[in-house]
Amino acid sequence: MPLSLTGFFLRDLLVWRSGVMPALTTSLVCSWIGRQLLVRMMDLGSVARRVCAIGDEPFLSRLAEAAVESGDFVLVVRRPLDEVRGLGPAEAEAFAADLEARRIADLVVAARERRGRLPLHLLLAVRMRGIRVIPYEDLYEQATGRVDLDAVRPSWFVFVEGFEGSRLDHFAKRLFDILVAAVVLAATAPLMALAALAIKLEDGGPVFYAQMRIGRCGVPFRL
């Protein structure tokens, strides 16, 4: 970066090509050191998001496991939903103040059934102190890259991201997929041809395995 800034602001300055390699080496070493320091800080919990979770089992335990697995957040406070749902305004305010003092960034609601069970006084007090309230499904998916199917309800599909996009977005994505697939197919065609020949020589069976799948809007297609 210093080399780039120097070349941008001092265009008349002559930088020999022999200086590029030391600059790249230094950059790689500094990047590695910075990454190691960041990983150590994440392990100590000084950088990772501090999270409070209220809800039911087994979701609270799964969230604790996800915190250890990913290292993206630290589960500082964990409370059963039945323990906090009856909090009055004063108790909810005290609970929210304690979360703020512990530098909690997110309050995760990990309830098996939310209807009629959410502690509204607590959720409002938490939001007023700038702490986000997020559903368990979202944080679990962000941390692990997986969807907890036990927690998914029909309403989740209504509010989850990923279904948006204009026609231009869909066209660009489709074009990109086709181009990349064509390049990879051309690069691997010789290897695939050898694999197909080996299959034929071994058992004489079909090279391709076909199966019917359900695609977008319930339209079946042959894979």
Start-to-end C-alpha separation, the chain: 47
What b-and-e string marks burial along 92-120, b requiring 16 or more CB atoms within 10 Å of the CB?
bbebbeebeeeebbbbbbbbeeeeeebbe
What are the tens digits of pLDDT across the range 69-102?
888 888 999 999 989 988 889 999 999 999 999 9
Cβ contacts of 199 within 8 Å, gap of 6 or more = 205, 207
Fold of the domain spanning 48-159: Rossmann fold (3.40.50)
Return the H-helix or E-strand segment holding 63.
Answer: helix 59-70
Q: Which pTM was predicted?
A: 0.58
Lowest mean pLDDT among 40-44, 51-55, 67-71, 179-183: 40-44
> What are the structural domain ranges in the chain?
2-43, 48-159, 167-222
Residue 133, strand partner residues: 107
pLDDT of residue 170: 83
What is d(CA 21, CA 34) in angstroms, rounded to the nearest whole number? 20
pLDDT of residue 134: 92
Q: What is the mean pLDDT of residues 142-150?
A: 88
Of the two residues 159 and 147, the one the predictor is more confident about is 147
Q: Which of 42-51, 66-75, 186-195 has the highest mean pLDDT?
A: 186-195
Q: What is the mean pLDDT of residues 187-197?
A: 93
Position of tokens 């989850």? 160
**Structural tokens at position 202:** 């071994």
Of the two residues 134 and 204, the one the predictor is more confident about is 134
What are the tens digits of pLDDT across the range 193-207?
999 999 888 888 888
What is d(CA 121, CA 119) in angstroms, rounded to the nearest whole number? 6
pLDDT of residue 116: 83
Please say if the pLDDT value at position 7 is more than 70.
Answer: no
Percent of the chain whose predicted confidence (pLDDT) is above 90 = 44
What are the tens digits of pLDDT across the range 107-126?
999 988 888 888 899 999 99
pLDDT of residue 9: 65
Please say if the pLDDT value at position 159 is more than 90.
Answer: no
Q: What is the mean pLDDT of the chain?
A: 84
Residue closest to 78 by CA, chosen among 100, 97, 104: 104
pLDDT of residue 8: 64
Lowest mean pLDDT among 37-41, 97-101, 127-131, 190-194: 37-41
Cα 221 → chain centroid: 29
**Structural tokens at position 142:** 């962000």
Q: What is the mean pLDDT of residues 35-56?
A: 74
Please say if the pLDDT value at position 47 is more than 80.
Answer: no
What are the tens digits of pLDDT across the range 208-221?
889 999 988 889 99
